[in-house]
Structure 1
Amino acid sequence: MKQIDEMQTSQHISLGDRALNLHFKQHGNGYPVLLIHGLFGSLSNLGLLAKHLEQLGYRVISIDALNHGLSPRSNSMSYRTQAAAVKAVCEELAIDQCAVVGHSMGGKIAMALAQQYPGLISTLVVADIAPVSYQHNHTAVFSGLMSFQPSTISSRLEADKCLAKHIVEPGVRQFLLKSLTKVDGQWRWLFDVEKLYACYSSIIDWSAGESFSKPCLFIKGELSDYIVADYQTQVAQQFPNASLKVIAGTGHWLHAEKPALFNRLTEQFLAAHI
């Protein structure tokens, strides 16, 4: 296989009358593994896992989801649309089969990808999300994000103070601030707040597709309520070859709270099923 040291690019696809160009980075060679981040994140969120898998000899492709990072802005964030956009990246990179790891919203994109294109996906790791429609809301987060224009602030500390008027949890604010960046001397978010707000009903929704019978690993944060016992039926129906691991003492951002354990569970699962 041709040596791939590092590649960063955007992939053009056409969905109806929309042209989308997903941004991604890839490192290493070997068997390809896609990494897909969650809501309000970017491809850097799974950076520790990307580095770990690259060192193990995998070809790692980290993707910015629609309306996040350097990927294009879109009025649709249905999981069918998002899965098709990721598949187009695989086609551009001549990837016939790969594993995929997704956290939260990225886990739903990964599950949709497996259900829509089962021949493409060999195995699946889903971090702290289930194949269900959620009643969760991010009202406080959106209120904080919409309470100020980042271009008007002078520092991250000022942004944090603005967010703190609406978002109590320091960890949530710090996660959001990772996507605050300075461009041409002005601060801006790497995600599109308005489009995420407009698409929020699609983000928390889920339409079950055909069952995916290949091996899957669901990793739950012990303190998180995104995977609960009531969802076992939906998981078993849609992913009948799924197993579950729980990381003690972690919440929804389990990959950041205990990265060594999260990386090891992912590594062991991929090694057993690829």
Structure 2
Amino acid sequence: MPDRIPDHEIAGDGELTLFLLHGAYGSRQYYRHEIATLVARGYRVVAWDAPGYGLSPLPSPYSIETAADACAALVRATGAARNVLIGHSMGGIIAPLAAVKLGRERVQGLVISATVGSFSAKSKEDQRVFLEERVAPLARGETLSAAAEPLLRTMLAPGSSGPLVDLVLEVAMQTRSETFVAAINAIVDYEGQPTLEHLRQLGMPVLAIAGEYDNVGRPEEMRKLAQNVGGEFVCVPGAAHYAWAEQPEVFNTALFDFLDLRVRRLS
């Protein structure tokens, strides 16, 4: 159990609370527009800074298990009668484990965006490239801002632009190097398959969302993830890793359909 709950913000007052969990690049700040959209739709939103991000202290050692414990503590402290976890990238690895820890009594739905739930599902070569592209430049002395921008741009679909994309890039490049390295190593080290098996047993409504051009949470891998946990799958055309910023209307239509048809109806 973490010493204190992570730094976070709460917005809105709807009867269903949506928890936004960001990726390894970034913080809750890049969800600024998404939070406003969700609140306008009538949802209560809790957006966190994961351990080591924002004002949340960096635990040592860092692990997905530690982050999931922190997420579970946040839900217990700030959640309502009905809660949904929405995890993007690293957040999409943390969210399933937190959902399993909390159970159906506290979590009524799960949205996994742009990840595969466990890097053990990826080939050794994919794992090597993932680590090399992100951590090696920092080991050579580059700043995270300088190393991250060219890589982040490859994680966007051709032609992706606009204020939401600009905000993602701005916030992502402010990530602290020591936090980022700890998070990336935790992602690669995490064995998440048992968690996905438990998730299927819970029978919790799950939505997996992939961007058409994403090379991290690849559509074919996310489709398999959804099948493995008995969930639904949506591919967002014209988007890559940051579908909620690149194609927000398409992403949010899929999200709202899931919440309206699967979560609210079953609650």
TM over 0.5: same fold? Answer: yes
What are the equivalent positions in structure 2 for 1:1-274 lying under 5 Å apart?
Answer: 14-15=1-2, 19-30=3-14, 31-93=16-78, 95-118=80-103, 119-133=105-119, 134=122, 135=127, 137-145=130-138, 147-148=141-142, 162-163=146-147, 167=150, 170=153, 175-179=168-172, 189=174, 191-204=175-188, 205-207=190-192, 208-209=194-195, 210-211=198-199, 212-225=202-215, 226-229=217-220, 234-237=225-228, 239-240=229-230, 242-272=231-261, 273-274=263-264
Q: Which amino acid aligns with 2:97?
A: A
In the alignment, structure 1 segments of 5+ residues that lack a partner are: 1-13, 151-158, 181-188
Q: 1:131, 1:206 within 8 Å by CA — same for their partners in 2?
A: no
Query: What's the RMSD between the two structures over aligned residues?
Result: 2.7
Q: How many residues matched?
A: 236
Tell me the secondary structure at the aligned position of residue 109 of structure 1.
helix
Offset of 1:148 from its aligned partner? 4.5
1: CA distance between counterparts of 2:218 and 2:203?
Answer: 20
Offset of 1:70 from its aligned partner? 2.1
Q: Which amino acid aligns with 1:114?
A: A
Q: 2:113, 2:210 within 8 Å by CA — same for their partners in 1?
A: yes
1: CA distance between counterparts of 2:65 and 2:151?
Answer: 34
* Residues 66/176 of structure 1: CA separation in 2 closer, same or farther (3 Å cut): farther
Q: Which amino acid aligns with 1:131?
A: G
* Residues 169/243 of structure 1: CA separation in 2 closer, same or farther (3 Å cut): closer
2: CA distance between counterparts of 1:131 and 1:200?
Answer: 14
1: CA distance between counterparts of 2:240 and 2:219?
Answer: 13
In the alignment, structure 2 segments of 5+ residues that lack a partner are: 157-165
> Which of 1 and 2 has greater Rg?
1
**Identical amino acids, percent of aligned pairs:** 23
Q: Taking CA–CA contacts closer than 8 Å with sequence separation of 6 or more, which of the two structures ends up with the larger relative contact order?
A: 2
* Residues 168/97 of structure 1: CA separation in 2 closer, same or farther (3 Å cut): closer
Q: TM-score, normalised by structure 1?
A: 0.75
* Residues 144/256 of structure 1: CA separation in 2 closer, same or farther (3 Å cut): farther
Offset of 1:115 from its aligned partner? 1.8
* Residues 75/199 of structure 1: CA separation in 2 closer, same or farther (3 Å cut): farther
